[in-house]
Amino acid sequence: MDLKGARILVTGGSLGIGKAAAEVLVKSGARVGITGRNGDRVASAAKEIGALGIVADAANIDDVNRTYEEFAGEFGGVDCLINNAGIGAFRKLADVEHEDFKKVFSVNVFGAAMMAKGALKYFTKQGRGHIINIGSTAGKKGFQSGTVYSASKFALRGMTQCWQAELRPQNIRVILVEPSEVATAFGKEDGVERVASPNKLTSYEIAHAIKSVLEMDDRGMIPELSVWATNPW
């Protein structure tokens, strides 16, 4: 994919991995839109990195539809969707509530699926397109207190494989990028980014991975890419 002039939509793009990816892609010449639920954060991030800011909740189907209206209205279409928006709930089984599943799956699974469905309308007309789902290594191996979050990322991994089987004949690449532990503001209400220690991943390692898999010529595809810290101990 030639990133210069590419129209790329990043959900959850006002902080963390989404913001870093948007910044790297803008610097590579792409035309980028970011979404987020906090209007002030979206506006600030969009201004800082030179992206289109769209205030929207990926779990709200009306917001999903409006996101594509605003993005396509600005850029004339969509070439790539990066499904980055995600939330978590971390409880031991004895403490898990039904609402935890509903809240997390509404964004991490249902929201990602509806965003992908929205992009497909443009990709089918163009005869090409790219979807990058930001999963997690928690979608490959569970962990203590990860019942809800890990289940959502296993589900996203499964959906990715289904979309790959469905969409390859239409020249649509679907790629799963699975970060290990990354220092971001994930789970913090104040939105303040955590500072990574020297041996931990930052959002920019994941942004580099996203850029790299997109830049491969469209005849090739990396179905799944896990990114780990070299020596996290």
- Is 204 a known active-site residue? no
Question: 68: burial class by Cβ within 10 Å (0-12, 13-18, 19+)?
Answer: buried
CA–CA dist 81, 25 (Å, integer) = 12
CATH code assigned at 99: 3.40.50.720
Residue 218 lies in a domain: yes
Residue 43 lies in a domain: yes
Residue 221's domain spans which residues? 7-227
Q: Alpha carbon of 134 to those of 33, 79, 99, 153: distances in Å?
A: 17, 17, 23, 9
pLDDT in tens, 71-110: 999 999 999 999 999 999 999 999 999 999 999 999 999 9
Residue 24 lies in a domain: yes
Residue 41 lies in a domain: yes
CA atoms within 13 A on the CB side of 220: 7
pLDDT in tens, 168-213: 999 999 999 999 989 765 654 655 556 768 888 999 999 999 999 9
Residue 77 lies in a domain: yes
Residue 33 lies in a domain: yes
8 A C-beta contact, residue 136 and residue 88: no
Residue 233 lies in a domain: no
Residue at token pair 């963390």 = 16
pLDDT in tens, 114-137: 999 999 999 999 999 999 999 999
Point out the catalytic residue in the list 68, 122, 149, 204. 149
Residue 211 lies in a domain: yes
pLDDT in tens, 136-154: 999 999 999 999 999 999 9
Q: State how many domains the chain has.
A: 1
CA–CA dist 151, 205 (Å, integer) = 24
